[in-house]
Amino acid sequence: MKNKDKGTAKSISIRSMNKFFQAVHVLKDLSLEVQAGEFLVLLGPSGCGKSTALRLIAGLESISSGELFIGETNVTNVLPKYRDIAMVFQSYALYPHKTVAENIGFPLKMAKTPKADIDTAVLAAAQQVELGDYLERFPGQLSGGQRQRVALARAIIRRPSVFLMDEPLSNLDAKLRGNMRAELKYMQSKLGVTMIYVTHDQIEAMTLAHRVAVLKDGTLQQLGTPKEVYSNPANLFVAGFMGSPPMNFISGAIDNESFTTKGVKLPLPGAPKSNQVTLGFRPEDCRIVKAGSGAMDAEVYTAELTGDQVLVTLQLHGSQIVSRMPKEFEIGDTQIAGIEVDARHLYLFDSESGLRITADSTR
């Protein structure tokens, strides 16, 4: 983040922000402190309130209660055009009849910037997103990734204090999304800008963010670095949402410091007695072994070679368990297999509240 533009980046302070649409409480007491130059990802399923939060920051929707600061300035009731924010939408929102150069330079033209200054700024912004050779083309002559970069360049050219991005890569194919993730991360680091990025894709959150804010039903569930949120989920929702494939869950009880359910008994020293718990473990923290030699036996459902690994799915009392195995692994015609779990990487949750239960044997 060492660059001459980092000084323009500003912090964002969201303080007990609420949003009602008539009787529907969409965003509930959201409080976040975003540092200047930070890349924060708002992550959650459709309808969780993440896009609403972005629109409130941008000023496109009014805040029902709470406060919003950009830098030291309270902008809760300030018009969008005075907030020094640039927003990039999922749809790119380019003018089809304007060239790439005209699209990029449009914000400066509207600000009545001298043409010579616009031309210089357009070339610099285009080169930053590697579109210097495409300035005379029209959006219809570009690929999806190139159109997205035009939208980014149009945001960059204003040198705003804050960038807001609402699922900007969701319209791209898988390969291009991967390329654009790398470009976005490099650009954000190079420019040192403050960026708030909305997505439902946890891979994007894991790879892009300095910190991730996980939302559900308008409420903040957990805030932390991608590693913290993945390795130490606060509740069942976060544990199941972060990770691809997601965490495995088995319902059971704790008795005599052991997790028990039908055909399964796992020692968990220090775990408190409970009649309703959920045991969790990641696909990479379990492996397939010969039936009878692991922590539990289950029925083999499918084995999928994805190239660099084999994902083996098993059925256990109505639950599906996924194990991530090496690419050389072959299951053959095995109907029943054992599952060995790494006792160092077990998670316990209260089945009713969903909250994490900590014990000496869990992380």
Q: Look at residue 36 in the predicted model and tell me its pLDDT.
A: 95
- Distance (Å, whole) CA 185 – CA 265: 45
CATH class for domain 6-236? Answer: alpha beta
Average pLDDT over every residue of 142-162: 85
Between residues 225 and 191, which one has the greater pLDDT? Answer: 225
Q: What percent of the chain has pLDDT over 90?
A: 66
Instruction: Answer whether residue 62 shows pLDDT above 50.
Output: yes
Using CA of residue 191, residue 196, residue 201, residue 61, what is the dihedral sign?
negative
Average pLDDT over every residue of 129-154: 88
Contact 177, 21 (CB under 8 A): no
Instruction: Answer whether residue 337 shows pLDDT above 50.
Output: yes
- Distance (Å, whole) CA 361 – CA 348: 10
Given 2.40.10.340, 3.40.630.20, 2.40.50.140, 3.40.50.300, which CATH number is that of 248-357?
A: 2.40.50.140
Average pLDDT over every residue of 11-15: 97
Average pLDDT over every residue of 288-297: 92
Confidence of residue 359 (pLDDT cuts 50, 70, 90): low
Q: Look at residue 188 in the predicted model and tell me its pLDDT.
A: 86
Q: What share of the chain is helix, strand, coil (3-state, %, to 5)?
A: 25, 35, 35
Confidence of residue 25 (pLDDT cuts 50, 70, 90): very high
- Distance (Å, whole) CA 11 – CA 68: 11
Average pLDDT over every residue of 201-223: 95
Contact 153, 131 (CB under 8 A): yes
Q: Look at residue 144 in the predicted model and tell me its pLDDT.
A: 81
The DSSP letter of residue 285 is G
Longest CA pairwise span in the chain (Å): 78
Write out pLDDT tens, residues 74-98: 999 999 989 989 888 777 788 999 9
Domain range summary for the chain, segments of one domain joined by +: 6-236, 248-357
Q: Look at residue 7 in the predicted model and tell me its pLDDT.
A: 54
DSSP secondary structure, 13-64, as one string:
EEEEEEEEETTEEEEEEEEEEE-TT-EEEEE--TTSSHHHHHHHHHTSS--S
Encoding tokens for residue 334? Answer: 């095995």
Secondary structure E strands in 263-307: 264-267, 274-281, 286-289, 296-305
Write out pLDDT tens, residues 163-193: 999 988 877 777 777 877 888 888 888 888 8
Q: Look at residue 3 in the predicted model and tell me its pLDDT.
A: 43
The rounded radius of gyration (Å) of the Cα atoms in the chain is: 24
Q: Look at residue 187 in the predicted model and tell me its pLDDT.
A: 80
Residue 79 burial by CB count (10 A; 0-12/13-18/19+): exposed, middle or buried?
exposed
Instruction: Answer whether residue 284 shows pLDDT above 60.
Output: yes
Can 6-236 and 248-357 be said to share one CATH topology?
Answer: no
- Distance (Å, whole) CA 186 – CA 191: 9
Count of alpha carbons within 13 angstroms of residue 258, beta-carbon side: 10
| φ, ψ of residue 121 in degrees (nearest 5) | -70, -40
Between residues 68 and 172, which one has the greater pLDDT? Answer: 68
Average pLDDT in the chain: 90
Confidence of residue 51 (pLDDT cuts 50, 70, 90): very high
